[in-house]
Each structure stands twice: as structure tokens, then as C-alpha cells.
Amino acid sequence: MSSNITLPISKFVTSVKNIQAGAIYSRDWAPLHSDQDWAINKGNLPNIIMNNYTLNGLVIKYVTDLYGDATRIGKVSFKIKKPICPNETLEFHGSIISEDKVSEELSFLNINLDIKISDQIVSSAKIITGVNLTEKKLNSPWKIDSKTWKSYIDEVTTKKS
């Protein structure tokens, strides 16, 4: 089923602490993510910058905040177009491009996401996620065995290619 449903905008304010913490938690020791002096003076950057793992976590958080903890992410891809620094407000602008209903209680959503700072797109993402869009909460995408889950993702990805 094809759709183009606009999702709610979510905001996240970056800080030195959350950029550094994201790098530390993902074991990314590159100084451009944690050492402000190095980033500015040796890296020729405006400040430390957010790493890919942290941005990936924020993309996943956007989707799971919308659909709940039973949401199961199938695939995430994104491109960072501009460094993300401390004290910037990220705006997550999502839309459902398509929905593939697999069963009565399981749909796969193909979501496009633009991450903006001051109306400028700094990153774009594509997400495929399994969700239960019904009022029935008996089944969760997390109850699907990994082999079946992978076959669903492969099927949905093939349709999008």
C-alpha cells in the first residue's frame, strides 16, 4: 500500500555532554567527537561533532517514540551532509512513504526522515520498521524469529529497490 503520511516533528538539542557521551558509549575515541580543543584547532571544525552511532540512535529513538517499545527496527541508512555540533536544535521531519501489511497485526513502514537545523537539512535517513498499528497488542514484532524477520526485511527492501 502506498502512502505519504507526514509524521510529527520531534526536536533534540545537542550539547557537549550528549555528543561526548554518544561517542564514549559507542567506543568511538576519535578526538573530533570528544576533544573541543582538538576539533577546533587541529580538526578545523567549528566544534566537536556528533558521530554516526549517536545520530543512528537518535533516528531509532524518533521512530520508537512514535510507535512504542514494541517497534522493531529492520534497517536504517542515512547520510550526514553537515557536521552536527553542540548547542544546535535538531528537528526530525518524518514521513511514511509506504506501508506493507504482513499480517493482521504487523506492518512494515518505509519511513523517510530529514534532520534539519534552522530549516537546513543536515542529514537524511531511510528506515524500515515493523510495527503493530492495531489496537490489539497481543503480538509484537519482537516475537518473530530472526529467520522470518530477515525474510520480511529482504522482501520489503526488494520492493523498494
Q: Which residue has the higher pLDDT, 68 or 98?
A: 98
| Per-residue model confidence (pLDDT) at position 160 | 62
Cβ–Cβ under 8 Å, residues 112 and 36: no
The stretch 92-97 carries a mean pLDDT of: 98
Which domains does the chain carry? Answer: 2-160 (3.10.129.10)
pLDDT tens for 107-154 read 999 999 999 999 999 999 999 999 987 776 666 788 888 999 999 898
The stretch 41-68 carries a mean pLDDT of: 96
Cβ–Cβ under 8 Å, residues 78 and 124: yes
Please give the mean pLDDT across all residues of the chain.
92
Tell whether the model's pLDDT for residue 15 goes beyond 90: yes
> Could you identify the residue written with the cell 503520511?
5
- What pTM was computed for the model? 0.90
| Per-residue model confidence (pLDDT) at position 99 | 94
E strands, 7-132, in order: 10-13, 72-80, 89-103, 106-117, 120-131
Residue 10, amino acid: S
The stretch 60-72 carries a mean pLDDT of: 91
Q: Rounded distance, CA 5 to CA 40, Å? A: 41
pLDDT tens for 18-35 read 999 999 999 999 999 999
Cβ–Cβ under 8 Å, residues 73 and 60: yes
| Per-residue model confidence (pLDDT) at position 102 | 87
The backbone region for 158, taken as left when phi is positive above 0, alpha when psi lies in -120 to 50, beta otherwise, is alpha
Length of the chain: 161
